[in-house]
Amino acid sequence: MDQRSLDSITSGDRLEGIFLVAGANLKTARNGKFFIPMTLRDHTAGVKAVRWESSQEEFREIDRNPFLRIHGRVEEYQGNLQIIIDTLEPVSASEAGLQAAEFLPRTPCDIETLERDLEQRIVSIKNESLRSLVVAILERPGLRDQLRVSPAGKSMHHAYIGGLLEHMVSLLKLADFVCDHYPWLDRDILISGVILHDIAKTTELGIDNGFNYTDEGQLLGHIVLCCNWIDEASRKVGDIDREVLLQIQHVVASHHGQLEFGSPKKPMTAEALALHYIDNLDAKLMGYMELFRSAKPGPEDSRFGSHAYMLDVRPYFPRNLDYQRPPGFTTPSSSPSRSSEGRDGTGPAKVTPGDGDLPF
């Protein structure tokens, strides 16, 4: 499709094309007229947009269709770009001949390589019944297909196609470092916990209309879903040691660390603490780099980003900061070393907190 990519627009540009709509809301302005704030996305970025002087009928049409064909102009509003939509036409996926996933940012890593890394680590789990439990969960109908595309979050970190798998493999590598450093940790529990902790995000988040919470995601969330899946799988596996099962359930249940972040329990075992901290480390560092990529400060710009909900500060981006892939990741076009070149093209969307989105 020949249209300007959203990561290349600047204030004053005119813009036309088809974009994926996310987060459209019908609101009433002070003059009593309806307006619709929303986010327009392509695979390079998500940019805030607004349709002034709208109507309930127009909102219903937008709500029913994933795409919008628009003519608009780009303005700067409170330090950020905003698209003012002059004309719009809601477009269904079949009319556009498009799938929402084509409009979403994507991991720079090679999915097959990530899957192979994951499979190798599953095979390395020595406790046979624990390994069978992990395998039983990964064999849930449709889960492996979903895992190839799921993001790890709606907007905070790894918020792109394949982001969940990338996050899992990143944590598997961190878990190995941690287990080498603290050899008394139970590697099987930690590795299984890493694989399972966010696995239910495959059900919690859908990608058909941007990254959105499914009904199960809204009503239960990935921690409760995963604890249910573990319970179900443990009945199939049968001979799993009761204390091992309890530890795995606890590692998953407590990985957000705080009750206010959705964990029913705080970490109470060494492996649960280890998972919580490496999960937090990966989420925060990748979230920081996503903020940097989104802010794209030029040589004359302030090095402070806007306040980030995830970090609870205004991040500072030093002048010598450059995006580098996490070490050990292989992509078709890069070596696995830390000196590999930065990401190109498919950057994540501009990051703002979504409803209920948590920093893990």
Binding-site ranges for Fe ion (CB under 5 A): 198, 279, 360
Reduced to 3 states (helix: H, G, I; strand: E, B; else coil), residue 348 is coil
Q: CB 333: neighbour CB atoms within 10 A? A: 10
- The two beta strands, 46-54 and 80-91, are parallel
Say if residues 35 and 29 touch (Cβ distance below 8 Å): yes
From the CB of 194, what's the least distance to Fe ion, in Å?
A: 8
- How buried is 62 (Cβ within 10 angstroms: 0-12 exposed, 13-18 middle, 19+ buried)? buried
Alpha helix segments (H runs only) across 238-295: 242-253, 270-295
Nearest 5°: phi and psi at 188? -60, -45
From the CB of 167, what's the least distance to Fe ion, in Å?
A: 6
Q: CB 239: neighbour CB atoms within 10 A? A: 8
Nearer to Fe ion, 329 or 360 (CB): 360
From the CB of 38, what's the least distance to Fe ion, in Å?
A: 27
**Token couple for 169:** 């493999």
From the CB of 165, what's the least distance to Fe ion, in Å?
A: 12
Say if residues 198 and 152 touch (Cβ distance below 8 Å): yes
Nearer to Fe ion, 51 or 167 (CB): 167
Nearer to Fe ion, 108 or 359 (CB): 359
Nearer to Fe ion, 7 or 279 (CB): 279
Closest by CA position to 326, among listed 334, 315, 338: 338
From the CB of 197, what's the least distance to Fe ion, in Å?
A: 6
User: Tokens 């937090």 — which residue?
Assistant: 280
Strands (E), the chain: 14-22, 27-28, 34-41, 46-54, 67-77, 80-91, 205-206, 212-213
Nearer to Fe ion, 68 or 165 (CB): 165
**Token couple for 176:** 């190995």
Nearer to Fe ion, 187 or 201 (CB): 201
From the CB of 290, what's the least distance to Fe ion, in Å?
A: 15
Nearest 5°: phi and psi at 48? -65, 145
From the CB of 204, what's the least distance to Fe ion, in Å?
A: 9
Distance (Å, rounded) from C-alpha 306 to C-alpha 315? 7
From the CB of 7, what's the least distance to Fe ion, in Å?
A: 26
Nearer to Fe ion, 51 or 197 (CB): 197
Say if residues 296 and 323 touch (Cβ distance below 8 Å): no
**Token couple for 225:** 């879903």
From the CB of 156, what's the least distance to Fe ion, in Å?
A: 10
Nearer to Fe ion, 6 or 289 (CB): 289
First to last CA, the chain: 34
Nearer to Fe ion, 66 or 151 (CB): 151
